[in-house]
Structure 1
Amino acid sequence: MPKVNESVINFAVYENSTEYYGMAEVTLPEISNLTEEVKGAGISGTFESVVLGHLEAMTLTLNFRTLVKDAVALLEPRDHQIDLRVAQQGKDTVSGKTTVTSIKHVMVVKPKKLNPGKVAPASPAEASGEYAVTYWATFIDGEKVLEVDILNFIYFVNGTDYLADVRKALGK
């Protein structure tokens, strides 16, 4: 089905199946692979080798319109399981119908910092929190397309776990 992806209709953020309210926006972590510069005999220069399944630290940012108890609760120094559920809008270019795609991000995070924001009349506080991510799975219409588990050597992308042979070699 030919389609055009249009926008995010809306989203909800959950911890342990409890919806958080007052969320303004979310900035998802960037997935950036670790690299090692390779140089030596037999090659005519240097290049960056991408280390299989190894990532730089990932950070999730949650932006709240105001400072709420939920934002403070996420500051508790423990692992938090966050579910971000997104409804994405598209257009079927053949039928002309609007489509909805379900995206679900599941993350295990630990708080790095809380910015309580600002206080001004008739304006949002723009509070925010940053969270270190050790686990991230993404499901599109119920199908797992991404799973990154730094602590358990899992780097799953589009049906392949690229660290399976590494776990086997390490006896894990």
Structure 2
Amino acid sequence: MTRQIAERVSQYTVYLNGSTFLGTSEVQLPSVESLTEAVKGAGIFGEVNSPTIGALASMTCTLNWRAIEPAAIRLAAPVAHALDFRASEQVFNPTTSSYDQVGIKASVRAIPKKFETGKLAVGATTDSLNEFEVIYYKLEVGGKVLLEIDKYNFKFIIDGVDYLAKMRSQLGL
């Protein structure tokens, strides 16, 4: 396998429903955090904050805009939005001393939580933003799905391993 060093995102785009270009915004992708509970007692040296498999904390996604954009206002509608963030990541191959580009695609289904229209100041950006609750998150790198989370359909897949398949079967889902 060719060793590549990921350096940076060269460019990226934001799309609604897979095809509607939304303009230029900066995105903060969701953090994936398990809900935990302290386990302590006889036979355990101290305390362990043990993750509950299949229980994730709230995931949010934020779009930051430089100016008041019609797209940002449309995204405030109280419905689930399908958003795709497509990026080209620059990588360096030290064996061949050459650069290449690797595609990244982050897809979310997200419900608006907050819309800030921003501020008005002469010669300044508005710093408008949309914040969403993420109910579905899929991350692909180089065409390979590395992460897929679907909160309402009990899916938690990391690098091809479905960590909730047995639970779905046990629950009859």
- Confirm or deny a common fold (TM above 0.5): yes
Aligned length: 171
Letter in 1 for 2:172: G
Matches within 5 A, 1:74-153: 74-153=75-154
Q: What corresponds to 2:33 in structure 1? A: 32
Q: Distance in 2 between matches of 1:6 and 1:53?
A: 32
Q: Distance in 2 between matches of 1:157 and 1:22?
A: 30
Percentage of identical aligned residues: 36
- Report the alpha carbon displacement of residue 43 of structure 1 after superposing the two structures with TM: 2.7
Q: Distance in 1 between matches of 2:117 and 2:83?
A: 20
Question: After the TM superposition, which segments of 4 or more aligned residues of structure 1 sit over 6 Å from their partners?
Answer: none
Letter in 2 for 1:151: Y
- Report the alpha carbon displacement of residue 39 of structure 1 after superposing the two structures with TM: 2.1
- Give the conservation status (yes or no) of the 8 Å contact 2:84–2:106: yes
Corresponding residue SS for 2:97: coil
- Give the conservation status (yes or no) of the 8 Å contact 1:7–1:88: yes
Gaps of 5+ in 1: none
Residues 115-152 of structure 1 show CA distances to partners (whole Å, capped at 9, x for unaligned) of 11111111111111100000001111111111001111
TM-score, L = length of structure 1: 0.96
Residues 42-93 of structure 1 show CA distances to partners (whole Å, capped at 9, x for unaligned) of 3343211111121100000000110111000000000000001011001111
Does structure 1 residue 20 correspond to structure 2 residue 25? no
- Give the conservation status (yes or no) of the 8 Å contact 1:22–1:66: no
Q: Distance in 2 between matches of 1:123 and 1:168?
A: 54
Letter in 2 for 1:138: L
Cα RMSD over matched residues?
A: 1.0
